[in-house]
Amino acid sequence: MITGMSVSLKLKPNAKARVLHGHPWVFANEVEALLPAAHDGEVVECRDRADRFLGSGIYNSKSMIVWRRFSRERAALDGSFLRGALERALARRRAEACRRLVWTESDDLPGVVADQFGDTVVLQIQALAMEKRAALLGDLLAELTGAREVVFRNDSNLRRLEGLPVEVHTRSGQAWTPRWQQIEGFDYWLDLQAGQKTGFYLDQRFQHPLVARHCAGKRVLDAFCNQGSFALHAARAGAAEVLGLDSADEAVAQARVNAERNGVKAAFAVANVFDWFNDPVRAGEPKWDVIVLDPPPFAKSKGALEGALRGYKEINLRAMQRLNPGGVLATYTCSHHMQDAELRQVLAQAAADAKRKVHVLEHCHQPPDHPVLVTMPESEYLRGYILRVE
């Protein structure tokens, strides 16, 4: 507990801030006045117009999100609190070699994401206050997980919104050597210092075997395949033919290496998926039995949502048109601005335009180690459907 005088941020009298309904963020236009820059990266309280205490949070006047709550109590963001938050985060998760350890506000650690890959933890920090405590966070993660190395992947563009530099380094100061790592029964060549995000998309790892159940003896297309995970699982499940597509040369090259390493038969090609579907040559080709659509986020901001909805409809329409009757479409979005109702509407519109009857087989979601905070819609970003297309 903190004793003595505390610095407070005050909401405007007419503010309709979401923090009043449990959301952990306060935006700059929701407060009466910003605090001096001397408080950036430090702990401040927030109070409503009636001077009621709303919690302890981290402050940054340079960010649109000026305050992020980490506790509903008066608390210091010190070693004791960080240790407790990390211990609680670990206790919520299954003991697995590869898993998400920390998911920002859902684990009372705003701006902190941590993934574990065997004996290595990859740590992303996207908030100034947590950057000031980065070394302590790295030490605690190493101690609590037994990790031999912590890779600080501080190269997200979100850091620029906090006025933070973009950089990558390790706790030891030594370069992390790329290596093979087994994830859900497959070996993947991981480069945790230079790969996308934290090195591997752990959020989809439970979806890969779920889709593979539909692939035995089938022609399977894995669109936006990245390192080829859906394709690898489909091939091992007995698919008759597997093709993975991705616009990134390095992703396709890695998918081929992964397929060879795991002894499965799958082809991969560099292609813009939209252009590939729209190529007139497709009209004369056999249709597919299973298509996976796992694109990058089309809506990276709320303002981009309208265009993103058109993109999602277009790609799902093309996929439905290229499926055999009774075929399976596994379709996902990782745009947190796109809610489930909007995704369902997009799929309904695509089905109507394709003149296909479409049934829901599975409603898909991010795994439990990416916990959703019910008062924070932004913590829920991955959703999808496995559909039967008649």
Instruction: Report, as residue numbers or ranges, the catalytic residues.
Output: 334
Helical packing angle, 79-91 and 134-145, nearest 10°: 40
Of the candidates 280, 288, 313, 282, which has an alpha carbon nearest to the alpha carbon of residue 230? Answer: 288
HSE at residue 389, side-chain half, CA atoms within 13 A, is 32
Q: Of all helices (H) and strands (E), which one includes residue 327?
A: strand 323-333
CA-closest candidate to residue 153, choices 105, 203, 206, 190: 190
> If we measure between CA atoms, which residue out of 292, 378, 368 comes closest to residue 339?
378
Compute the C-alpha angle 251/334/323, nearest 5°. Answer: 75
Q: Output the DSSP codes for 218-282.
A: -EEEEET-TTTHHHHHHHHTT-SEEEEEES-HHHHHHHHHHHHHHT---EEEE--HHHHHH-GGG
* Residues shown for the chain: 390
Backbone angles phi, psi at 33, to 5 degrees: -155, 145
Do the Cβ atoms of 98 and 202 come closer than 8 Å?
yes
Nearest to 53 by CA among 91, 11, 87, 89: 11
- Token code pair at residue 102: 């920390």
CA distance 163 to 160: 5
CA-CA-CA-CA dihedral for 82, 87, 88, 89, to nearest 10 = 90
